[in-house]
Structure 1
Amino acid sequence: MNKTFEELCLRKSVRDFRDEPITEEEKRMILEAALQAPTAGNMALYSIIDVQDQELKERLAVLCDHQPFIAKAPMILIFLADYQKWYDIFNEYTDDMPKLEESDFILAGQDCTIAAHNAVVAAQSLGIGSCYIGDILENFEVHQELFRLPKYTVPYIMVVFGKPTQQQKDRMKPKRFELEDLVHIDYYHQKDITETKSMFMKQSNKDEKALEQYIQAFAKRKFFC
């Protein structure tokens, strides 16, 4: 099997790390991989905060849904959707300041996502586990203040990195949806509810009754809390 494809298939979220540091060489390789990611117009509409201060890590663990493993992670990277540098350079060299639209920040978010995943894949190839933390965006106003971010900079993605424990290595990766259920040919096919239930039952390996209970619990945890 192709090595890169194998790493992509094996990669899973890791939330428990060995008490072993990530070396400076490993960190630099991960960061360099992030910077090699495709980016809109070569603008690099992102910046990266390498969180090293333990007090900041402890604060993040609380603010990001009270997840203690965050504070124990040897490396934390926050990918910022960053138009501030372009705003400043435009302001310096152009007569009329371009108006920033929501679509501009969506584009910056795409740059963040691609760069972050480059870092995740590079880490995987080095035997370093990772976990995306979505709460960095959900509570972005608090994190903007915490990291002293200027107006046109948003904390978009956070990833924690560390060398996985044996238990994490052995843990089975959650099953993904099947290719045929997610890939549409030419046009979007909106599934009827029977097809949708079938798709979810295959992915979750549950019968319809168990699926109903799972979906209700998931909705309550994620959307109705």
Structure 2
Amino acid sequence: MNQTIKELYERKSVRMYTDEAITEEEKRLILESALQAPTAGNMALYSIIDVQDQSLKDELAIRCDHQPFIAKAPLVLIFLADYQKWFDMFNEYTPGVPQLEESDLFLATQDCIIAAQNAVVAAESLGIGSCYIGDILENFEENQKLLHLPKYAVPFVMVVFGRPTEQQKTRQKPKRFTVEDMVSIDTYHQKTIVETKQMFMKQSGKSEEELGKYISSFAKRKFFAEFRDEMNRSSREMLKHWIK
């Protein structure tokens, strides 16, 4: 196992940080690594906001379901699905370009996520932890104003970075599903409920008797949660904003 693969295996979400700063050189390396990511047609359909203003961090921590560690993170990056620069250039040189549509947004979100993951991998190689913040999908209209975003730039991914505390270093990484359970050959394998239960028992370490309570707890936390209602509402508004 080489060093890159080792770091992919070891990387986990880090939500508690030491007081040691991330240097400007390290930040530059993380940002430059993000820009080396694969991108559709080399269009780089994303932009990155380096959130340095503490009041902005504080506000984002509140808006992202009241998670104080966001405000304490030494580095906060927001990755925007951003087609604005190309839309402007198309109109400059080929007037009459139609409004962008759903596929354009989906393509930009792919670029955006790939760039974010490059940044995460680069940070891990420098001993800097990271945590994805999916809640940036909430409060779309307010965040659009907060970050002064044009029509075709929407906040899609936020990642916070910092050096992990000793407790975070030693905390066990949650077990992942196995290749055998996650990979199908040629066509999708629709598992029976028995196969699916076995898959979840292997991943969670729960017995069949414990599994129901475990899944119900997960559903309550992730599926029947208030934040999901706002995330769904916000996502619909993002789509309407993009294509109207």
**Is TM > 0.5 for Structure 1 vs Structure 2?**
yes
Residue by residue over 1:21-67, the C-alpha shift from the partner in whole angstroms, topping out at 9 and shown as x without a partner, is: 10000000000000000100000000000000000000011100110
> What amino acid is the match of 1:55?
S
Question: Cα gap change, 1:28/1:183 in structure 2, threshold over 3 Å: closer, same or farther?
Answer: same
1:189 aligns with 2:189: yes
SS at match of 2:206: coil
**Which whole-Å CA distance do the structure 2 matches of 1:35 and 1:66 have between them?**
30
**Which whole-Å CA distance do the structure 1 matches of 2:26 and 2:144 have between them?**
28
**Which whole-Å CA distance do the structure 2 matches of 1:95 and 1:51 have between them?**
35
1:77 aligns with 2:77: yes
**Which whole-Å CA distance do the structure 2 matches of 1:77 and 1:86 have between them?**
22
Aligned-pair CA distance for 1:140: 2.4
Partner of 2:117: 117
**Which whole-Å CA distance do the structure 2 matches of 1:159 and 1:118 have between them?**
11
Aligned-pair CA distance for 1:142: 2.3
Which of structure 1's runs of 4+ aligned residues deviate more than 6 A?
A: none
> What amino acid is the match of 2:180?
E
Matches within 5 A, 1:122-137: 122-137=122-137
**Structure 1: stretches of 5+ with no match in the other structure:** none
Residue by residue over 1:139-194, the C-alpha shift from the partner in whole angstroms, topping out at 9 and shown as x without a partner, is: 32221121111111110000000000000000000000011000000000010100
Partner of 2:96: 96
**Which whole-Å CA distance do the structure 2 matches of 1:44 and 1:130 have between them?**
22
Matches within 5 A, 1:168-183: 168-183=168-183
Aligned-pair CA distance for 1:199: 0.4
**Identity over the aligned pairs, expressed in percent?**
74
SS at match of 2:78: strand
Residue by residue over 1:108-153, the C-alpha shift from the partner in whole angstroms, topping out at 9 and shown as x without a partner, is: 0000111000000000000000000000013322211211111111
TM-score by length of 1: 0.98
Aligned-pair CA distance for 1:221: 1.6
Aligned-residue CA RMSD in angstroms? 0.9
SS at match of 1:127: coil
1:27 aligns with 2:27: yes
SS at match of 1:150: coil
**Which whole-Å CA distance do the structure 2 matches of 1:214 and 1:56 have between them?**
36
**Which whole-Å CA distance do the structure 1 matches of 2:214 and 2:91 have between them?**
52
Aligned-pair CA distance for 1:209: 2.6
**Structure 2: stretches of 5+ with no match in the other structure:** 226-244
SS at match of 2:19: coil
